Chain A
Amino acid sequence: MGGEATKSIAKDVLWGGGRSPFSVSYGKMMMWYFLVSDALTFGGLLTAYGFVRASSTDAWPIGEQVFRALPGLDGEYPLIYVALMTFILIVSSVTMVLAVEAGHRNDKSGVIRWLGLTIIGGFFFLGSQAWEWSHFIHGSGGSFLLAENVTVTADDGEVFNLSKGDPVFMDHHFGHLAEPWIEGEPNVSLMESDHGIKLVEVGEHSHESELHALTLNKYVENESFVSGDEAMKLWNARSGTFAFGANMHDNEYAIQQAYANFFFFITGFHGFHVFSGVVINIIIFIMVIQGVFERRKHYEMVEKIGLYWHFVDLVWVFVFTFFYLV
């Protein structure tokens, strides 16, 4: 077959008129077929996500509430980080299409420049995703479930009738100490404070954190803050079930573990594609520098890996919409 490392191709493997099917090379057509099947996998994953979300009776976390942190900054920036990741991937797709264009002019230094920038863009995206995963896994404060029914008044005056099993969310500082305290770390203890309670850590990293406010509906619509005595009512009604961040068994974001599992699987599977794309790009980058395609007199291999790289960008466009926006 044409894809194998022979210099000639037997006439009888060509289609009817002695030409390549669809007027594209064997390798390029097979890359398209592979992408169609891979796109079906991602389509299946996103459809499954939509199916589980639509048939779920509990509230489902929403993107602008869960993903609103930026590295090194306090405060809330809903969707900004994910938008940045999307932009990085679109830009690396542009540099890739410019590499393909340079290849069509047999411009070796142009291909090297643009393909090199594409690889750097790929590393930037992978780094961003690593931070995003780390942030998602560590969480921002954690949650506990109520052991009994409670009625509380939020800071804005709204009254909530909460039932047993409803989640309540801690803030970042308090949750940071609550996790070792729940795990029975001897350095951390719960104490009375002037306004309520505080967690105190002694020893090497000694610091303390007061229970200022708890949050209701943190990751769904209309989050509300509860502070002072009302927060203590919630704290005193807590059950032993705490969740900090997310892993394969529990998560602080939702009652449904499927939410965290879909996050890990969909973004992880996409990230794995980005990673293998970067590896393939590096291999072809080295071959370009060695002059393999210059001797071959065309850069179609850059076109083929370009197809794969654009596909990775394409998938992210859909993940961005269906996982983060809708």
Chain B
Amino acid sequence: MERDDLIVNDSYALNSHHSEEEGAKIRKNIWKVTGILTLLTTVEVLMGIYFKRSETFTWTMIKWSFIILTLVKAAYIVLVFMHLGDERNNLKKVIIAPYMLFIGYLIFIAISEGFGHLGNFNTLH
């Protein structure tokens, strides 16, 4: 049995080789994603410059749209550029699920403890 990273056959979900025609298709997709990432970043920067911060509902919406646009960008980077979208389903879950679990918990704890002085969570005092 050879070293597993030296195996060149179809047992890998992400087959190590592709033809010139497949390559052209993949490159087209890469440039498409590049366009999307550039566009999203430009939108974020323009929003950041244009909208003034305030205690209003509008600014809250802007903040959430920054976060959503960032998650969209992150998804494109991880699924297309890092090829996680082409990996097996169980690898995807093994990578993403523990991360979401830990970070979700951390953010929950930070929010419930960090904003305590604002009044909504200090019933324990």
Residues on A facing B (Cβ under 8 Å): 2-3, 6-11, 14, 18-20, 22-29, 32, 36, 39-40, 43-44, 47-48, 50-52, 54-55, 57, 62-64, 78-80, 83, 86-87, 90-91, 93-94, 96-98, 100-102, 104-106, 221, 296-300, 303, 306-307, 310-311, 313-314, 317-318, 320-321, 324-326
Contacts and interface: CB of A to CB of B under 8 A. Distances in A.
The 9 closest A-B pairs by CB, nearest first: A25-B5, A22-B91, A51-B114, A321-B70, A51-B110, A2-B4, A83-B45, A20-B4, A23-B13
Nearest to B34: A94
Given A11-B1, A25-B4, 10 more contacts: A22-B88, A22-B91, A90-B38, A98-B30, A306-B81, A310-B82, A311-B82, A318-B70, A320-B41, A324-B48
A40 B99 contact: yes
Contact of B27 (A11, A19, A98): A98
A101 B23 contact: yes
A32 B8 contact: no
Contact of B110 (A2, A47, A79): A47
A280 to B, nearest CB: 16
B81 A43 contact: no
A114 to B, nearest CB: 11
Contact of B114 (A27, A55, A326): A55
Contacts of A29: 91
B17 A104 contact: yes
Contacts of B42: 83
Contacts of B38: 87, 90
Counting chain A CB atoms within 10 Å of each CB, the highest count among B5, B49, B52 belongs to: B5
Contacts of A24: 12-14, 87-88, 91
A217 B2 CA distance: 66
B30 A9 contact: no
Interface in B74-125: 74, 77-78, 80-83, 87-88, 90-91, 94-95, 98-99, 102-103, 106-107, 110-111, 113-117
Nearest to B73: A317
A296 B6 contact: yes
Contact of A43 (B41, B44, B106, B115): B106
Given A36-B98, A317-B73, A87 B41 contact: yes
Contacts of B83: 100, 303
B30 A97 contact: yes
Nearest to B84: A32
Nearest to B10: A23
B18 A9 contact: no
